[in-house]
Every structure is written in structure tokens, then in C-alpha cells.
């Protein structure tokens, strides 16, 4: 029996995927539920499991865009599982086939064209293209008759990168994954389609450092997760979103949609690029709940197990460039959201405190926002509210009861 395997739907609004990598070869025997391919959608990279055991026949190449519901491979479920020796024999036969193909390619290569007056001379169309690119005709190898430079040669010609000095000057090209291309499109769209501005402030992290130094060991031993900075920032953001609801909104045509819940997107660097999983209803989570959810989502994103549903939605985003050493940046809005908070590294800096110079752990924070629906007053007030909560967490985030807030 021949089983036709079709591309399953990774989620709503996704109509096609791209075959990122086949994990098996044509003619291999596969087991049921064995991962046979990695497919990229515009939101995530997912593994495609075999629906049955049998001999597989591939119907799509790596890099092909395949519609959801289209056939990507056939599995002959009536085929018997080969023995170990058979696999070795198949491998050897494939090697022989590859050798024959290489020999055939060498034999089919035409002899080098004899140099004539036409060698290295561009056609009129090719000359125009080379002039526009600023490419010297002497650096282009002609593939036309008698070595003449054709229009195609001119189109493929690469301009000089400067005078070589004898070092290695090689280059490689690789196709961007569908996920990477979608991220690029969204980032460009955010810059081009929104009135994006950024406001900055600084936060004295001394109070949070003191709380973490005092309670982080007991917190970890009781709850199994660390007491990090993300829970404080998430709680501060939730509080500020309640004070400035326009920041927790987005534009839909001629209307503004405001949300009475806080789904906080957390930017995570994964093996396939930037992932933005969502903490649902963050307003209902405790410090322990936030830390546990951040840890769970970060692990799933880094191991490539994150699902489309876990990255769908979100009303506000937090990104932390500080983990890579960033001191200051202007984060780009994650559309269709209207604002994003950028965290940065913490550095001891001199500050004025009570009329004297003191050294304190300082973090610069930034909020990028869509000026079409968020006014400057609201954006600045929003960031100041976050600053106030982080500098006085015991009163503003814990209701003056630290042990209850940390569930100790």
C-alpha cells in the first residue's frame, strides 16, 4: 500500500511551508513517527513525522515551498524492513552512482573555447550592464561563442570589493529560511508602516539586587526556578499597562483595539533565529508563575520545540539585549503591537543620591512605540511607571509583603 503524506497545517493563516531539510534520503526505510523532515513556516520551524513505517519516496526538494495539504512524500507500507547488510549495500550502490555521475559530468564538459578577436568582448546589452555596475570587462569570464561576454555573464558579474592584498577573499551564499525572511519582512514593515519613536530612561537596580540577594536561594529551593530580573520587569510592565491602556492596544484599519488582558511576548534567541513566545495573561501570574513560564518557553524555543500557537498573539513585547552585552538600543516594534520594552546590561555607574555621589547598578531602558495611537506623554509616563516600580518593588509590586509575593 502506498501512503501519500501531505503537509499538515501548522496553524491558522499559514498556507505554505518550506522544506528546510530532509532528515532521510530517497529510498530509506522509515519508522512510524520518525522525524523525516524539518519544515519552515513564517512563524516557526517544525519537524514532520512519518505517518507509517515503510520505504519513503521524496516528492519535494530542500528549499521548495509546498502548499499546506500538498503531497511531500510517498511511503510504501508493504515494503519489508531491510537488514543491516542491505543498508550497507544500498549505501555502497549510492556511492558508485555518485562516482559515475561525477565522471559523466567531467566527460560532458566542453573543451575550452579557442581565443579569438571576440574573446572577452561584451555584447552591447552586456556592456551596458557592466557599465552600470562599474565592472571591468577584463574581470568577467565570457561564456558565449569564442568567449564573448553575454548579457547573462554581465548580470551575474560581481563588482570588485577593492584591490586584493593576497589574503583569502572567498564568499558563500546561503538561502534565508522562510522564518528568517518573514522576520525580515515584519521588521521592515514596522519601520515603514508605523510612526515609530523611542524614549529612554535609566533604572537604579539596587532595590532588586537587595531582594534577590536576600531571597533567591530560598526562592529557588522552594519553587525550583531562579528569581531573575524578568519577573520584576514583567510585573512592572503589567502594572504600567494598566495605568496606560493605549500602550496595550493596536491599530486595525480605522479602529483601535484595546485589550483588558496582558499577553507579554518575550524575545528569545533560538537556533533558527529570533523567537517570540507569549506569556498568556501575565496579569494573573505571580513572581513564581512568571519565572516558571519564562524558563519553560525559553527552553522550548532553544530546543526548537516551540509551537506556532505559543508564538501567536501578544499585546506587548519585552526584549533583553543586555544578555549579549548591549548598553543601549532602539528596539523595533513587533507588529501589530504598538510598543516594545528594551532591557540592557547592568553597569555600576556614579549617580547623585541624597545630595551625594554614589555608585549604583544602572540599567538603561527604552520603549519604542507607535506614535499613531500612543502620544509622547503616555509613552514617557509608561516608561516612568516601569522605572518607579523597579526602583521601589517592595511597595509597588509586592504590596509591602515580600514573602507573600514570592510565595515563601
Distances in Å between the Cα of 209 and the Cα atoms of 131, 206, 360, 390 are: 62, 5, 10, 10
H helical segments located in 271-392? 287-302, 308-311, 376-391
Among the options 26, 64, 213, 371, which is catalytic? 371
DSSP code for 122 = B
* Helical (H) or strand (E) element with 239: helix 229-243
Q: Are 59 and 73 in contact (CB under 8 A)?
A: yes
Ranges assigned E (strand) in 239-286: 249-252, 255-258, 264-266, 268-270, 273-275, 278-279
Match 537556533 to its residue by C-alpha cell.
271
DSSP one-letter string for 125-163: HHHHHHHHHT--GGGS---SGGGPBPHHHHHH-----S-
Residue 104: which H helix or E strand, with range?
helix 84-108
Distance between CA 246 and CA 284 in Å, rounded? 20
For residues 67 and 46, what is the distance between their CA atoms, to the nearest angstrom? 15
With vertex at residue 381, the alpha carbon angle to CA 377 and CA 384, rounded to the nearest 5 degrees, is: 145
Residue 403 phi/psi, 5° resolution? -65, -35
Neighbours of 322 (CB within 10 A): 19
Beta strands in 284-381 (DSSP E): 316-320, 339-343, 346-353, 356-370
Q: At what angle do helices 229-243 and 376-391 cross, to 10 degrees?
A: 140
- In 3-state terms, what secondary structure has residue 74? strand
Nearest-angstrom CA–CA distance, 60 and 132: 38
Active site residue 354: no
26 is catalytic: no
Q: Which residues are catalytic?
A: 371, 375
Amino acid at each position: 500500500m502506498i501512503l501519500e503524506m501531505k503537509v499538515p497545517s501548522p496553524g491558522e493563516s499559514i498556507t505554505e511551508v518550506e522544506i528546510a531539510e530532509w532528515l532521510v534520503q530517497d529510498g530509506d526505510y522509515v519508522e512510524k513517527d520518525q522525524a523525516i523532515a524539518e519544515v519552515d513556516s513564517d512563524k516557526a520551524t517544525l519537524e514532520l513525522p512519518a505517518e507509517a513505517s515503510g520505504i519513503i519516496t521524496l516528492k519535494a526538494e530542500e528549499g521548495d515551498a509546498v502548499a499546506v495539504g500538498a503531497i511531500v512524500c510517498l511511503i510504501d507500507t508493504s515494503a519489508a524492513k531491510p537488514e543491516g547488510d542491505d543498508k550497507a549495500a544500498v549505501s555502497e550502490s549510492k556511492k558508485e552512482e555518485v562516482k559515475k555521475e561525477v565522471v559523466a559530468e567531467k566527460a560532458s564538459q566542453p573543451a575550452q573555447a579557442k581565443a579569438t578577436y571576440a574573446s572577452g568582448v561584451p555584447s552591447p546589452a552586456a556592456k551596458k550592464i557592466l557599465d552600470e555596475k562599474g565592472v571591468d570587462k577584463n574581470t568577467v569570464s565570457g561564456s558565449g561563442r569564442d568567449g564573448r561576454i553575454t548579457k547573462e555573464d554581465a548580470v551575474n558579474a560581481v563588482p570588485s570589493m577593492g584591490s586584493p592584498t593576497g589574503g583569502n577573499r572567498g564568499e558563500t551564499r546561503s538561502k534565508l529560511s522562510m522564518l528568517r525572511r518573514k522576520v525580515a519582512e515584519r521588521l521592515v514593515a514596522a519601520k515603514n508602516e508605523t510612526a515609530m519613536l523611542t524614549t529612554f530612561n535609566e533604572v537604579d537596580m539596587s532595590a532588586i539586587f537587595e531582594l534577590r540577594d536576600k531571597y533567591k536561594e530560598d526562592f529557588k529551593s522552594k519553587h525550583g526556578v531562579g528569581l531573575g530580573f524578568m519577573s520584576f520587569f514583567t510585573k512592572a510592565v503589567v502594572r504600567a499597562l494598566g495605568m496606560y491602556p493605549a500602550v496595550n492596544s493596536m491599530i486595525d484599519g480605522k479602529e483601535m483595539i484595546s485589550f483588558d488582558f496582558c499577553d507579554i511576548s518575550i524575545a528569545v534567541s533560538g537556533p533558527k533565529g529570533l523567537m517570540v513566545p507569549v506569556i498568556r495573561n501575565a496579569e494573573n501570574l505571580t513572581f513564581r508563575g512568571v519565572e516558571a513560564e519564562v524558563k519553560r518557553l525559553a527552553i522550548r524555543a532553544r530546543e526548537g520545540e516551540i509551537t506556532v500557537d505559543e508564538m501567536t498573539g501578544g499585546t506587548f513585547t519585552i526584549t533583553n539585549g543586555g544578555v549579549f552585552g548591549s548598553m543601549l538600543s532602539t528596539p523595533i516594534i513587533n507588529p501589530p503591537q504598538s510598543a516594545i520594552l528594551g532591557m540592557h546590561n547592568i553597569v555600576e555607574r556614579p549617580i547623585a543620591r541624597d545630595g551625594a555621589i554614589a555608585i549604583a547598578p544602572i540599567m538603561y531602558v527604552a520603549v519604542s512605540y507607535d506614535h499613531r495611537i500612543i502620544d509622547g506623554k503616555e509613552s514617557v509616563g509608561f516608561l516612568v511607571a516601569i522605572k518607579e516600580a523597579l526602583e521601589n518593588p517592595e511597595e509597588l509590586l509586592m504590596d509591602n509583603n515580600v514573602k507573600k509575593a514570592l510565595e515563601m
